[in-house]
Amino acid sequence: MNQIVKTEEEWQKELTSEQYKVLRGCATERPFTGMYWDAKAQGMYRCAGCGSELFASDAKFDAGCGWPSFDDALPSAIKRLPDADGARVEIVCARCGGHLGHAFEGEKMTPKDTRYCVNSAALKFMPRL
Ligand SMILES: [Zn+2]
């Protein structure tokens, strides 16, 4: 997969300020405020930074946390990193390195026992036609 590398200046120009704060600044949007936390349409969630396909709507589930939650990602679409807080696991887009959210395991919310908790601002939804 081709990596996408841009300067902070380029990102700032291309992204909305909200997308920039989340994807490049690792900000977390407030729960129940994002565009997709309650979305149920069928389609594909892409990275708002580079357009890479990340999560299928089939993997989306209602975790009640106020952020879009998925129990699976597309193969090699995301990378897991130790979060700067030393406790959580950060997830980033494998292609552009944009911050998406965090991965949680052991909650037993779905059979896959994984919850990717993602900021809406990091996603761009493409409905299935
Ligand atoms: Zn990306």
Q: What is the pLDDT of residues 106-123, one digit of tens each?
A: 999 999 999 999 999 999
Q: Are 48 and 121 in contact (CB under 8 A)?
A: yes
| 59 located within any domain | yes
Domain interval for residue 107: 8-127
Q: Are 37 and 30 in contact (CB under 8 A)?
A: no
- CATH number, domain of 67, equals 2.170.150.20
| 107 located within any domain | yes
Is 129 a residue whose pLDDT tops 90?
Answer: no
| 2 located within any domain | no
Residue type, 46: R
Residues with a beta carbon under 5 angstroms from ion ligand 1 = 47, 49-50, 52, 93, 95-96, 98
Structure tokens at 92: 């980033």
pLDDT > 70: what percent of the chain? 99
Q: pLDDT of 43-91, one tens digit each? A: 999 999 999 999 999 999 999 999 999 999 999 999 999 999 999 999 9
Measured in Å, residue 61 CA sits from the centre of ligand 1 at: 22
Q: Would you call 96 a catalytic residue per the annotation?
A: no
* pTM score, whole prediction: 0.95
The residue from 47, 93, 96, 117 that is catalytic is 117
